[in-house]
Structure 1
Amino acid sequence: MKKADRYFYPAIFTYEQGQEIAVEFPDLGVATSGVDDNDALLSARELLGCVLFGLEEDGEEIPAPTPLSQLTVESNERTVLIDAYMPSVRQALSSRAVNRTVTLPAWLNALAVEHGVNFSQTLQTALRQQLRV
């Protein structure tokens, strides 16, 4: 199944005097907050990307977003359409480091340690050159 490049989900921003702006995604059952509109928007976008990436990775069904016109809100709430550009999210979340075990001749290991070689960086550089990336 082809994964979507971009998703749009409605979020409900709730404003309470003296509190952070609460942000809820009713279709996904998750929430976040922000100290102001910009922070709340960035938090919402990050959360949306993480949640959708997790659903994709787990092979779970991604629920259809509710149209904005079908959401009802209180006087201190606003609906906002939040987007997640998944190619960027996937790349960022799949670039996490992984541990690999390598086997080296003892003499080569000792010489590299003596010269302060960064094994991780050296292996990454060699792999990039080998794979032409």
Structure 2
Amino acid sequence: MALPRKLIYPAVFSYDDVDGCYSQADSTEEALYMAKDALELVLEDYISSMFEDAPKSSQIKDIKVESNQCVALIEVDVDQLIKRNSSKTINKTLTLPSWLTELGIKNKLNFSKILQDGIKKELGI
């Protein structure tokens, strides 16, 4: 499966100027920002599966809203989400033939970068 470039989910907002309607934001811009932030936090858990088991997005036509609500599409850039969460590194043990290791050291190769680049190429990211 190819890595998706963008994930888009609908979010239902209630208008904050309607009596009895509560919001986590003071403006539409802030509500959209907060919705995207919350969605990104949830989707971070699906990076390791390349989003294969991420929740499926609803079709807008299937979402029922009340008169004081509206639907907005919230888009998450998958590449950016992965990059923001990629600062964590882990140590992996790697087995190479001794002659290849010696040649790489002699040529001052960055083994970690070469391995990362190769894995990214293999995954298509």
Normalized against structure 1, the TM-score is what?
0.56
**Which residue of 2 is the match for residue 72 of structure 1?**
64
Question: Structure 2 CA distance, aligned partners of 1:88 and 1:15?
Answer: 30
Secondary structure, counterpart of 2:85 in structure 1: helix
Deviations 1:39-62 (A, max 9, x none): 110111122122112123367711
Paired residues for 1:24-35 under 5 Å: 33-35=24-26
Distance of aligned partners of 1:4 and 1:58 in 2 relative to their CA distance in 1, 3 Å threshold: closer
Deviations 1:83-127 (A, max 9, x none): 00011111112225x699xxxxxxxxxxxxxxxxxxxxxxxxxxx
**Which residue of 2 is the match for residue 47 of structure 1?**
38
**Which residue of 1 is the match for residue 47 of structure 2?**
56
Q: Once superposed, which parts of structure 1, at least 4 consecutive aligned residues long, lie more than 6 Å away?
A: none
Paired residues for 1:99-118 under 5 Å: none
Secondary structure, counterpart of 1:46 in structure 2: helix
2:15 matches 1:15: yes
Question: Structure 2 CA distance, aligned partners of 1:89 and 1:48?
Answer: 11
Secondary structure, counterpart of 1:34 in structure 2: coil
Distance of aligned partners of 1:76 and 1:92 in 2 relative to their CA distance in 1, 3 Å threshold: same
> Identity rate of aligned residues, in percent?
24
Normalized against structure 2, the TM-score is what?
0.59
The structure in which a higher percent of residues are strand is: 1
Question: Structure 1 CA distance, aligned partners of 2:68 and 2:82?
Answer: 34
Question: Structure 2 CA distance, aligned partners of 1:68 and 1:78?
Answer: 11
Secondary structure, counterpart of 1:65 in structure 2: coil
Is the contact between residue 15 and residue 77 of structure 1 (CA under 8 Å) also seen in structure 2?
A: yes
2:76 matches 1:88: no
Is the contact between residue 53 and residue 86 of structure 1 (CA under 8 Å) also seen in structure 2?
A: no
The residue type equivalent to 2:7 in the other structure is Y
Aligned residues: 92
Q: Which runs of 5+ in 1 are unaligned?
A: 22-32, 101-127
Q: Which runs of 5+ in 2 are unaligned?
A: 92-109, 114-125
The residue type equivalent to 1:95 in the other structure is S
